[in-house]
Amino acid sequence: MTDTAGARLDLLREGGVVPRHIAIIMDGNGRWASERGLPRSAGHQAGMGAVRETVEGCLAAGVGVLTIFAFSQENWQRPAAEIDALMALLEEYVAREASELRTQGVRVRMLGDLERLQPAARAAVDSIENRTAGGGALDLNICLSYGSRAEMVRAARLLARRVRDGEMDIDAIDEAAFAGQLLTAGWPDPDLLIRTSGEMRISNFLLWQLAYAELYVTAVLWPDFTREDLFTAVLDYQRRDRRFGRINA
Ligand code: IPE
Ligand code: IPE
Ligand code: MG
């Protein structure tokens, strides 16, 4: 850890409440690569280092849940070569990181429409979930082939089926019941959303769950994101006034 990162970590520990759940839209890999005259896949490769930094930063800061957006449903529309490179990286990530994550007590879950993955990628998903299942220090949710609208449609369908089958009364459908059918069921909503590369949009990520998240956008491109940047975002979060629609006494 750099001196500045260490100093920021000390500050955020003194500063108050650390977010229980951080969500991140990891964006800017392609631009990072083009700035260097490299293929886009080199940016994705470099982005893996930023994932490691962020996981270790969350462990150091005591964040309980980290949900990262790795591949969206819409990203299936990218050229096949880029998709293949991303899926190969997923397999590489699992091969390289699973045992270290397990040692660190990180429990990994992959959230999304995993049916669309090729068998090798699917096997990588199963492998990392199984190998890290006992982790208790940090829940790492990786959103893969994920779209929030699709997730909500799925939840509606699951509830409708339960009503149709007589397992549930229609009036029992409330916010908690709906949230209970989302892929994030059981985790608290994110307190803080970070998006890298300066884009000011949500891109179909956790639309329900982000209802009251604090938003933090940084110009840093994802491959350059370090734990120091993470701590800076948390320090910024600690200065926010979260009112949830109320007024302060
Ligand atoms: C984020 O980086 C990673 C994925 C969406 C898979 P991008 O690939 O979107 O990079 P930019 O936005 O083109 O720079
Ligand atoms: C969002 O990034 C998806 C991920 C980070 C995986 P995109 O780069 O796909 O989003 P848009 O197209 O700029 O909205
Ligand atoms: Mg992008």
Q: What integer pLDDT is reported at residue 35 of this predicted model?
A: 98
Best of 24, 25, 26, 29 to mutate for ligand 1, by most ligand atoms within 8 A of CB?
A: 29
CA of residue 72 to ligand 2 center, whole Å:
7
Angle at 111 between CA 105 and CA 117, to 5 degrees: 115
> Is the confidence at residue 249, as pLDDT, over 80?
no
Q: What is the mean pLDDT of the chain?
A: 97
> Is the confidence at residue 77, as pLDDT, over 80?
yes
Put simply, whether the predicted model's pTM sits higher than 0.95 gets the answer yes
Residues serving a catalytic function are 27, 75
Q: What integer pLDDT is reported at residue 2 of this predicted model?
A: 87
Percentage of the residues of the chain whose pLDDT score is greater than 90: 97
Distance CA 235, CA 16 (A): 9
Q: 1 pLDDT band (50/70/90 cuts)?
A: confident
Ligand 2: which residues within 6 Å by Cβ? 25-27, 69-72, 75, 199, 201, 203
> Is the confidence at residue 110, as pLDDT, over 80?
yes
Distance CA 106, CA 182 (A): 22
> Is the confidence at residue 166, as pLDDT, over 80?
yes
Domains of the chain: 17-147+189-195 (3.40.1180.10)
Q: 140 pLDDT band (50/70/90 cuts)?
A: very high
Q: What integer pLDDT is reported at residue 91 of this predicted model?
A: 98
Residue nearest atom 8 of ligand 2, based on CA coordinates:
27
Residue from 41, 61, 72, 44 nearest 1 by CA: 61
CA of residue 223 to ligand 1 center, whole Å:
10
Residue nearest atom 3 of ligand 1, based on CA coordinates:
27
Residue nearest atom 1 of ligand 1, based on CA coordinates:
27
